[in-house]
Amino acid sequence: MTTRRASLHVVGAQVIAQVSLVAVLPFLTRAYSTAEIGYFQLAMAVAMTAQPLATLRSEFAVPSLVTDSAVRRLVRTSLLVLAAVVLGTGVLSALLVRSHSGSAQVAGMSALMLAGLGWTAIDNAVLIRCGDAGRLAVRNLLGGTIAAAAQLLTAFIGGGVVLLAASVLVGRVVAIAFTRRPLPAPQERDDPEPRPYTVPRAASSMLSGLVATATGQSLIFATGLGQSATASAYVGVAQRAAGAPLTLLGQGLAQLMQSHVAPMVRNGRPGVRARILKQVVVLSGVAVACAAALMVLAPPLAVPLLGKGWEDAGLVVAILAIPMSFQLVVGPLMTVLPLLGRERLLLATQVSRFLLVALTLGVTLASGAGLIATTLAYGVATVLGYVGMLAVVLRAASIRDTRLSMHDERLRSTT
């Protein structure tokens, strides 16, 4: 299978999977109250925010590790930490059942989704390192379509909202079971890992992932805690709709970026900046088209698609169209800096972006602004943050490529 064909299969499978998840959304908004959907969205936000800590962010490091023994150790350690975090979250849910039923629901659903999201991220990294695009494409397809079918069945039979979270876990587990690839066999004699995933690297990568996800979910947290569960439901559904292009393509594009950059890093080859620019140029046109379509279509289609009472969600989708489209372009690039060993730079960039968004939301909520004004302020801050991140990644890639080119030139001149 050619590289281009494999890339199309990975992205295409992700598109089909995420279309399935978006397609069931109108059924969910009619089968469950806005408060229940709000709890589900909060749980998803918690799970996504906790994932970088629960997986040690190993999914960014595994593709660039050189030795098989280092891969085995990191994958097994990450799975153990993930299991401990999921178990702890489940225990917390059980303790909260009597006193805080809503919080217990959120914690329980968070544990279920964290298990599925974390295990998939770790195991996907193994497939990416091995260049197994076929299994990766099948996994992307199965994970989304099975989860969507399970959610649709849950809504049809009137199952509790917790089963929606369980559906996410079921889809991921089945997908991994059908496509899992054994870890590299241990070698009797293995060279030391030239770029080990040290504790400082892991800490910086984990914190940057935590901050990045918290930034992306901050509007849900801000509206849920500062306004109401209904407001967070509007925002959660709107982000899912406005982020449809990112959801459809984002994971596959990030996987492709890792697949192309990781071999360059392992083999010491230049060309990372050119690869980034190529993907950015292609995605910019897609992002503009998606943003325009969402801004025009979302407001009039909100009620016909989601049902009565979801009018505000259409306006929120229109506002979020631009920042979410920016995320489609820049989001996949977040994997580049860890592959280059620049975790600290990524952390500094993510913290700066978080502070910009958090400060904007804090000022907006303190002024008594409503849902629409708060969303607008969040969108402006998010766009500015993504522009800064793009500049940082391009500069880091340029410095790395220039250094390698100069090194190669010196070797040629001496020979």
pLDDT digits (tens, 9 = 90+) for 40-77: 878 887 888 888 889 988 888 888 787 888 888 899 99
Q: Quick check: 95 pLDDT over 90?
A: no
Quote the CA–CA distance of 136 and 244 in Å, as a whole number: 20
Q: What are the backbone angles phi and psi of residue 269, rounded to the nearest 5°?
A: -105, 145
Give the residue with greater pLDDT, 201 vs 79.
79
Q: Does the structure show a pLDDT above 60 at 244?
A: no
| Span of 53-57, 188-192, 281-285, 383-387 with lowest mean pLDDT | 188-192
Q: Which of 386, 45, 42, 32 is nearest to 214 (CA)?
A: 45
Tokens standing for 390?
Answer: 């793009």
Lowest-pLDDT range of 73-77, 317-321, 356-360: 317-321
Q: Give me the pLDDT at residue 315, please.
A: 77
Long-range contact pairs involving 345-350 (C-beta distance under 8 Å, separation at least 24): 345/392, 345/396, 346/204, 346/205, 346/208, 347/204, 347/205, 347/207, 347/208, 347/211, 349/208, 349/388, 349/389, 349/392, 350/208, 350/209, 350/211, 350/212, 350/215, 350/389
Give residue 6's pLDDT. Answer: 59
In 328-399, at which residue ranges do the beta strands (DSSP E only) sit?
A: none
User: How confident is the model at residue 187, as a pLDDT?
Assistant: 64
Using the predicted structure, report yes or no on whether residue 337 has a pLDDT greater than 80.
Answer: yes
Q: What pLDDT was estimated at residue 1?
A: 47
Give pLDDT, residue 118.
93
Task: Write the burial class of residue 263 (CB in 10 Å: 0-12 exposed, 13-18 middle, 19+ buried).
Answer: middle
| Confidence class for position 34, pLDDT limits 50, 70, 90 | confident
Instruction: Find, among 375, 136, 392, 363, the residue nearest to 241 by Cα.
Output: 375
Q: Is the pLDDT of residue 357 over 70?
A: yes
pTM of the model: 0.69
- 184-188, 283-287, 357-361, 380-384: which has the minimum mean pLDDT? 184-188
Which pLDDT value is given to residue 32? Answer: 86
Give me the pLDDT at residue 85, please.
94
Task: Classify each residue of 207-219 as buried b or exposed e, where b means 16 or more C-beta atoms within 10 Å of its C-beta.
Answer: bbbbbbbbbbbbb
